[in-house]
Chain A
Amino acid sequence: MDNKITIGIPRSLLYYKYNTLWLTFFNELGIDTLVSPETNYEILENGKKNTVSEACLSLKIFIGHVNYLKDKVDYILVPRIVSLENEMKLCTNFSALYDIVKNTFKVNVISYNVDVDKGISEQDAFIKMGQELGFGKELILNAYKVSKKEEYKQRKINYLLQRKKLNRERTKVLLVSHGYNSNDNLVGKIITDNLKKYDVEVIYADIINPDNREKLYKNISKRLYWTYNQELLNSIEEYKDYVDGIVYLSTLPCGPDSLVNEMCIRKVNKKNITIYMDELSSTEMIQTRLESFIDIIKKDDIYE
Chain B
Amino acid sequence: MKNKAYLGIDIGSISTKAVIIDDNNNILTSEYIYTNADPINAVKTLISKLKNKFDYNSYKIVSIGTTGSARKLIGKMLGATIIKNEITAHAIGTINMHPDVKTILEIGGQDSKIILIDNKVISDYAMNTLCAAGTGAFLTSQAKRLNINIDDFGLIALRSKRPIKIAARCTVFAESDLIHKAQIGYKKEDIAYGLCKSIVNNYLNNVAKGKKILTPIVFQGGVSKNIGVIKAFEEELKQEIIVDDIGHLMGAYGIAIMSKKYEDDLKFSFNINEFKFETKVSECNKCTNNCEIVNIYKNKILVDRWGNRCENGLK
Contact = CB atoms under 8 A, between A and B. Distances in A.
Q: Is there direct touching of A and B in the complex, by C-beta distance under 8 Å?
A: yes
B210 A279 contact: no
Given A48-B205, A53-B206, A53-B209, A285 B180 contact: yes
Given A48-B205, A53-B206, A53-B209, A278 B177 contact: no
A25 to B, nearest CB: 36
A280 B168 contact: yes
* Contact size range, A: 10 to 19
Contacts of A49: 205
* Contact size range, B: 10 to 19
Nearest to B167: A280
Contacts of A54: 129
A52 interface: yes
The B interface, classified by DSSP as helix, strand, loop or mixed, is: loop
B275 interface: no
B210 A284 contact: no
The A interface, classified by DSSP as helix, strand, loop or mixed, is: loop
B180 A279 contact: no
A49 B176 CA distance: 24
Nearest to B198: A280
A285 B169 contact: no
Given A284-B180, A285-B180, A278 B209 contact: no
A285 B177 contact: yes
Contacts of B205: 48-49, 53
Given A284-B180, A285-B180, A278 B173 contact: yes
A281 interface: yes
A285 B206 contact: no
A279 B168 CA distance: 9
A278 B169 contact: yes
A231 to B, nearest CB: 30
A279 B210 CA distance: 18
A291 B218 CA distance: 47
A278 B170 contact: yes
The 5 closest A-B pairs by CB, nearest first: A280-B167, A282-B177, A284-B180, A53-B206, A279-B169
27 contacts: A49-B205, A52-B209, A53-B205, A53-B209, A54-B129, A278-B167, A278-B169, A278-B170, A278-B173, A279-B167, A279-B169, A280-B165, A280-B167, A280-B168, A281-B167, A281-B173, A282-B167, A282-B173, A282-B176, A282-B177, A282-B180, A284-B177, A284-B180, A285-B173, A285-B176, A285-B177, A285-B180
Interface of A: 48-49, 52-54, 278-282, 284-285
